[in-house]
Structure 1
Amino acid sequence: MTGSMYGLVTAAGLGTRSGLDGKLRKELLPVYDRRDGRLVLRPMIDCVITRMLQVGCEHVVCVLDPNDTCTESYVSRNFPECEIVFQREKTGYGEAVRIGLSRVKGSKFLLNAGDGILLKTRSLASLMEAGSRADMALCLMEVDDPRRYGVAVVDGERVTGVEEKPHTPKSKLAMCAVYVLPTSIRSKLAGRQELTPAIDEAIRGGLACTYVRVEREDWASVGTKESYLDVLRRSYDSSTTFSP
């Protein structure tokens, strides 16, 4: 939709809050989706990669745990165009992104955590378009309790700063785990467990950051066992009342 850009999917976490107890990775939990006019169930990571391909990412890099042979097998069989790299030490989300960026080419990339999706593909396309107009683009949603999220402060169309899980949030705008970022952010990720401080440093260093705002219902994440039933319901509703 908006031209070629690398996609990067991070799916190397252990998913300790998922309730799966290591028996299955949360990225393989099925959610409802619409494919070729049919209602189907697909693993969350399948939906993430499919949406990336739909909005114009010709190359997708997936960061996995080297012991996660189930996800590796699924991605390899169903998405041969994807390149798989491994995060061998559990040193945080920021390090997973840094590892993946070693295989990403170009000046910008689309980043999506493997356990969450924007249910409407047009929301992802809007983020890509916003990212073409600025150095970075974030996807924001208003939440009741932003202390559990990365939180953004905005001024008009600009993001002026972000903070990870603040005790005293400066806004109610939480970041969805999907971004358009410059590949140069890799230099700010060394030694960092989280991505948010690197984004904040880039903003304060002068990079222009914009955002798209989505409804809370549009972001679905299978990160916790308590949220999965709601994710199934919302993905079903989104897929049966089709609006791309």
Structure 2
Amino acid sequence: MDSNNNVVKRTVMVVSNGGEAGHLVVSEITSPTLPASSHAMPANDFFVGRKGVTPDGCGVTAQGEEEVCSEAFRDAMRDLAGGVTVVTVGKGDDITGFTATAVNSLSANPPRVIVCISKGSSSFTPLDSNRSFAVNIIGSGDQAIADQFAGKGGLKGAQRYGDAEWTTMYSGTPILSASLAALDCEVDEVIERYDHAIVIGRVRAIRIFSRQTPLVYWQGGYQQLVSSPELIGGLRNCSGPKAVQYP
């Protein structure tokens, strides 16, 4: 956004599988609830935050080294746009899940993903005990699903699944039929650090089916990528779901 609060569009070159280039326009959407930009912080606030020399969220490590402030850290990380996923956990009637942007690939050979989850999350114990989960990559038309799994309206457990259409693959964990892609995973390792756990997933099955753009989370709100139908068709030219299962 420029100094006059006009929407700014950035054009990025995207190359499809066929080698033909297209343009993807990223639109920064104006929101009245958008937090104050961290870029306006004084230069020395990268360490002490906005509240002074000893603001809430600052502390001292066991080694006696002062930590940066949680508030300033959150401000900085809001500038990192992330794809939105719904991580589903459990089987049958004992199901739950959560919305996450802290999901990434770890390795392509072998296929492994990383999911970061708060140890205080209601999904952490079921995930750890079931030793399986699914990552559902959410499209721009399914913000309601993302809200449900974020617990909006107080929804918990199986309530978060609502009236959406679900299927299963290798592990029996629910897979969102409308997702851009889904990864059905076994828990390979759980590494607990601080107030979170890093979950490494062994990808056992993959489902790909979409012609829509992804839902993006940036600056505390959902955003959308704007592109032409021709570009989406070129990037994902398929007439139905494609599923791959690993032995």
* TM-score with structure 1 setting the length: 0.27
Structure 1 or 2, whichever has the larger Rg, is: 2
Higher RCO (C-alpha 8 Å, min separation 6): 1
Higher fraction of strand: 2
Higher fraction of helix: 1
* TM-score with structure 2 setting the length: 0.27
